[in-house]
Amino acid sequence: MQVSGVHETARYTAHSLMATTDDCIPGYRQLAEMLHGYGCKVFGQVFHPGREIMEGIDGSITAAYAPSAVPNERFHVMPVPLSKRLIREIVAAMAMPPGA
């Protein structure tokens, strides 16, 4: 399974899986039930890309948020340094997933 972004600043491509609200629970539940039917084990991986942003939800270049304004060599993006408020929000989102 693909990683799931836990904060709106974690949306790194137009096709990112996101776990930012309880609206994601039915889809993840359906996927888990289907895979369990085949005896598969399922785990989720929470995610924030930092300065690894490729495109926004509409395909445009969006802002990357990272600990510092160090440019991304791979995608040529200059990230916005995270504020203390955003750091707290992202840490809280990692610790408390939707529905918990």
In tens, the pLDDT along 71-98 reads 888 877 888 999 999 999 999 988 875 5
Domain count, the chain: 1
79 in a domain, yes or no? yes
Q: Which domain holds residue 25?
A: 4-95
Give the residue from 96, 86, 97 showing the smallest Cα distance to 63: 86
Provide the whole-model pTM. Answer: 0.72
30-39 residue pLDDT tens: 999 999 999 9
Q: Is the pLDDT of residue 69 over 60?
A: yes
100 in a domain, yes or no? no
Give the residue from 90, 66, 62, 91 showing the smallest Cα distance to 80: 66
Q: Rounded to the nearest 10 degrees, how much is the dihedral formed by the CA atoms of 32, 23, 92, 12?
A: 80
